[in-house]
Amino acid sequence: SPSDPDLVERARTAKEKLGNKVFILGHHYQRDEVIQFADVTGDSFKLARDAAARPEAEYIVFCGVHFMAESADILTTDDQKVVLPDLAAGCSMADMATAEQVAECWDVLTEAGIADLTVPVSYMNSSADIKAFTGKHGGTICTSSNAKRALDWAFEQGEKVLFLPDQHLGRNTAVRDMGMSLDDCVVYNPHKPNGGLTAEELRGAKMILWRGHCSVHGRFSLDSVNDVRERVPGVNVLVHPECRHEVVAAADYVGSTEYIIKTLEAAPAGSKWAIGTELNLVRRLANRFADEDKEIVFLDKTVCFCSTMNRIDLPHLVWALESLAEGNLVNRIQVDRETESFAKLALERMLALP
């Protein structure tokens, strides 16, 4: 929907008033009405790095979801304040692993005699508590753009990986990029005693995958891929690695949101693409490349926004910017010091990956 001109004007005025004091980060899944005000757009990795590279900005307004704002707070200085325009912008996947559940899982691995051999690798899409657990146990964070490098690193440190919380990214990276087989992976279900696994199954696995997933990317199926190949002859299928394994296995290209954009920028005129990721991004890309004669369609027939990403809308952004311009610090995301110190270890290991 086109943005309300009054709100656009108010956002512009408030942002101008704040000047260099504010830096606005926008994830690629954000609405157009919000993205137009971002100083930088990116995937989760790029935004984490960019947040850390702006020590002069007093306020970092994060147009994205809660775990991204937490990570930005961890990576910025104590004087910098990270603001999330709507506190209800969470991530259902990140909520699928709680600190208590993960501590319990570690006890199960300890009982099975494999905790010492296991390195936790946690997807960026997790709470600061999970990142702190990861740092404390010698592990690293990864995003969809460096998951293979994170796993390479982890398998130099230990024999097994506990991958949290996205089973699909873990499985897809292990099988597609690391040459493991599906049998090397087991799924730990936090809602079952011992994760629903025997000690023997745990000891036999290389990858212990947490039973979490993204409900947005979970909507794409093998049928979506087969249907679009029939509907659009010659189409290239390009999907995010949060999609299910059978979807990723049937796709032509797989990568993070930033990778998806770069791939389309480099694509020749006349090429056709079906994209399996969040719809705000796919629509924006379809519009952007229409002039260059690149046909871009959404992988599925149903509409598929990330409802929590969409919570950050122009009214919330205007409210946050106007409040800051008036000297009211609203919606600050602040991770406590103890959690921050361990979570930072894990994030810094990621930033140092080769």
Residue 193 marked in a binding site: no
Candidate ranges 6-14, 86-94, 284-292, 323-331; the one touching ligand SF4 (CB under 6 A) = 86-94
State which residue, 106 or 305, has the beta carbon closest to ligand 13P.
305
Residue 216: CB atoms within 10 A of its CB come to: 23
Q: Which does 282 bind (CB under 5 to 8 A by kind): ligand SF4, ligand 13P, none?
A: none
Kindly state whether residue 71 participates in binding ligand 13P, applying the rule CB under 6 A.
no
Cβ atoms of 33 and 310 closer than 8 Å: no
Give the closest residue to 66 by CA, choosing from 42, 82, 50: 82
SS3 for 40?
A: strand
Give the helix ranges, DSSP H, for the chain: 5-18, 32-35, 44-52, 66-75, 99-111, 128-136, 147-157, 167-172, 178, 199-204, 222-231, 245-250, 257-266, 279-290, 314-325, 337-351
Kindly state whether residue 91 participates in binding ligand SF4, applying the rule CB under 6 A.
yes
CA distance 162 to 112: 14
Residue 271 marked in a binding site: no
Candidate ranges 43-51, 78-86, 192-200, 263-271; the one touching ligand 13P (CB under 6 A) = 43-51
Tell me which residues in 236-295 interact with ligand 13P (CB under 6 A): 240, 242, 256-257
Give the closest residue to 25 by CA, choosing from 294, 317, 247, 257: 317
Candidate ranges 46-54, 257-265, 305-313, 315-323; the one touching ligand SF4 (CB under 6 A) = 305-313
Give the closest residue to 87 by CA, choosing from 67, 71, 60, 72: 67
How many residues at the interface with ligand 13P, by CB under 6 A? 13
In the complex, minimum distance from the CB of residue 209 to ligand 13P, in angstroms, rounded to a whole number: 17
Out of 74, 306, 325, 345, point to the residue binding ligand SF4 (CB under 6 A). Answer: 306
Which residues contact ligand 13P (rule: CB under 6 A)? 28, 43-45, 91, 125, 143-144, 214, 240, 242, 256-257
Q: Which residues are annotated as a binding site for iminosuccinate?
A: 27, 44, 123-125, 144, 240-242, 257
